[in-house]
Structure 1
Amino acid sequence: MQAYSAESQEILVDVSSEAPHVYHMRLNRPNRRNAITFELWGEMKTVVERLEHEPNCRVIVVSGNGDSFCSGIDLQDGLSNVITTMSNGELDVGRRGIALGRFLQVAQDGFNAIAKCQKPVIAAVHNHCIGVGAELIMACDIRIASQDANFSIKEVDVGLAPDVGALSRMQKIVGNDSWVREMCFTCRNFNAEEALRYGFISRIYPTAKETLDAATQLAKVISEKSPIAVQGTKVNLNYSRDHSDADGQLFVKAWNMGMLQSEDLVESAKAYMAKRKPLFKNV
């Protein structure tokens, strides 16, 4: 499964199966340090939605080909349509605003597809993870990075408020409002050690290869669990994050009224008693 650029047939998102139930999604613009365009956002949404509905896929690993994970938005190629719209004198302010909103929706949908995907998504970060690159990994469930990783929330430096996830997700990930605001207001770089200290990532590895290997191994561990249980856990974690404790418990009760009837519960019990690994069907 590969996503191509409509204009150049360049593979923008390269997808492969790394293990029986683990799929690897690579940003594939290494000559531009995986800078993101609106076309790439659209392809990312398409790929993630396909993987969400692929029964054999249970966990997704996201990485970047080449020297960097993602250097941010492609200011040269990625904003040409936006600039054209903004300078269109034939449109009034309201119509230009609505047209710009459509572009922003494409960008948000690209990352929202990751956040909404019922299957766990693990980000394996190396070197640059800048601007929208950092916002991409905020949509992921687990974030690990190599020692050379460096991050920044860069949008204020280019004259806009972050609009593809940083302002709605970062506070919930980190839990330190003061630090989040410092990063968003100043746009300063922070390294892997600082990211780990504040909970932005969960692990650091010496090299990019070791980071990707660790992400793949972690994905394999998760993929051997009941997909009914894992996907239900993600859905309920996402719901409870945005609702009260009482609402979260009501939601998971209703969820498990159906999911407890799955054969996975019985298979887990049988495997435990027989001291063997459980075997679960695809979903």
Structure 2
Amino acid sequence: MTRLLTFLTMSALLAVTKGQSQMDFAGTGQLDISQINPFGSGIMFMLTTTQNPCQSRPHHEKHMYEHFIPGFDWQPRLCPPGTLYSAEACACHNIDLRQVFVCRPELLIDFNSDTIDDSSGNHISIGNNGNVVNFQNAGRFDGTGVLAAFQYSKQSFGTKLTVTLRFYKSTGGASNDQVLISNCIGGRFGSVEIALDLQTKEIVFRIESRVGSITEQAEVRQPFTEGVWTNVKLMYDGSTVTAEVDGSTKTAPLQGNINTRYNGIMIGSCHGRGFVGYIDDVHLYRCLLK
């Protein structure tokens, strides 16, 4: 509820201008103006504790909530594992004492049905620009196709994230930099990204984080071969980025929370970096998959 603190009255202001630094407010005792007025005595000011309106609301599932995104209306969100949404706190504030933690995918696209949907049970909406088709239980991308999970727009991944998928790179494509999964926006790389560098024949794993006001980025590269199925895993635990390709692992140090992006999670393309080939079994976890 909006509350405005009492501001200085004219009589109080006159008292200050006469050199009186302490005044008595009814029911509140004495107020030392010299201690709280940054502009010096004789200047009227007003303090406010007006709170910003809550941009989230309860969901019928207590471990979820809905967040308002201009242009996209109310979008469902998952609370961090072990927490429940509190309308009073406008946050996932309550502890779920009954929940036994198991690392499960928050997003799962397995391409095993006629429609391309999230199969995790969390009912995350998947957008398709119409150019991604399900072909023999895998997603076929022609360089123009993209899937989008807009739920992840401006959503923090914190310090625990795992992304796994497998891909088959076909020949072709307008770009030598082809995205498998990313939340890139404009010309900036994603704060979470797996892409292919066709010039060096490498898979590029990227995580961008923030420590205070400082932005940091880790990039790990692993070789790949076109024309074969390749399994990849990107994992971040708050101190290390791990990039795994068919069981081969490389790491890089990194600290801080993963940076947010206004874009959602994009699969198969991001800012014109369209992938040509097949992608399958996309999993995103907000936990560390062992």
Does the pair score TM above 0.5?
no
Place the TM-score, normalised by the shorter chain, in its bin.
under 0.3
Normalising by the residue count of structure 1, what TM-score does the alignment of the two structures yield?
Answer: 0.25
More strand per residue: 2
Larger radius of gyration: 2
